[in-house]
Structure 1
Amino acid sequence: MDDDFDPHDGVRRRRTAKRRRTPTRISGKAVARRHDEKRQRNPLLLVVTHDDFGLVALARRRQLKLKQADVAQKVGVGRQWIGALEARKPGLELSLVLRTLDALGVDIMICPRDPAPAWTLPLTAQACARLRQRDANLQRRAPSLQTPSV
């Protein structure tokens, strides 16, 4: 803050910095409605961040017309924890998130991406080389353990 002297009235006033407006958040109902629309179009959802788990939990709980307290009792956590999940707070324990989604009847399927990310290719090549080396060492040590070729 800077002091500013107004020559007309002879009073020194403080200039205040303009406050920035925080971006408006979308209400929970709007988020759940959007999520429900996506769900109706495509039953499989891609979960990329922790936010997505919260959106899924919120939309499914509302679809089942359950209260947070009901879900919390079923999972064995407090209502505030369910609220934190639905508010997409980071740092929630994964096992509790999975237990909550299971209680809401949400199945999770993990699928590898094809092709693999580029950063994994050198690591994959190193791993294959190590496996070939290990197999070669095993064959040298015990040639009788080799499988007969047909």
Structure 2
Amino acid sequence: MAQLYADSALAIASKIPGKDLFVRLHERIGLTYHGRGAFFTALNYYDKGAALGNQVKNKSILAAIYLNKSDIYHQVADYVKSIEANENALNIYTAINDVGGVASCYINLSITYIALNDFKTAYSYIQKALPIFENDDPKSRGVASAKDLMGRILF
């Protein structure tokens, strides 16, 4: 039943001028499958949304898709693809000057490099993330996450 609603929403969105809503729906449906652990179904939706990236005005949607893909690849231990997806998201967030998105990419890249036991690279990314989070709010979740990762790297 849920899939029928999702398909109906996609059919309607495909007829609306501009592709932002259509791509956003692919991202949201992908997130639903992602959260349920259906990673390959989620990737299918993310890929369909990303394929329309050049037709999207709101590039943050596309960056979010790549960030979500990086998480899936990390969870299935495909670290090369995780890094690649993170770098795609990072490039978009940098281009649109979304510093929060940039910092999130740095955190994710750090986590991936920790999994690869490349602590030097992990540390370099976390050093980039921390000042961004501190600039935004010194008592934020981002600062806490960055400092936690720094501690784990230095142990």
TM-score (norm 2): 0.26
Which has the larger share of strand?
1
More helix by share: 2
TM-score after normalising by structure 1: 0.26
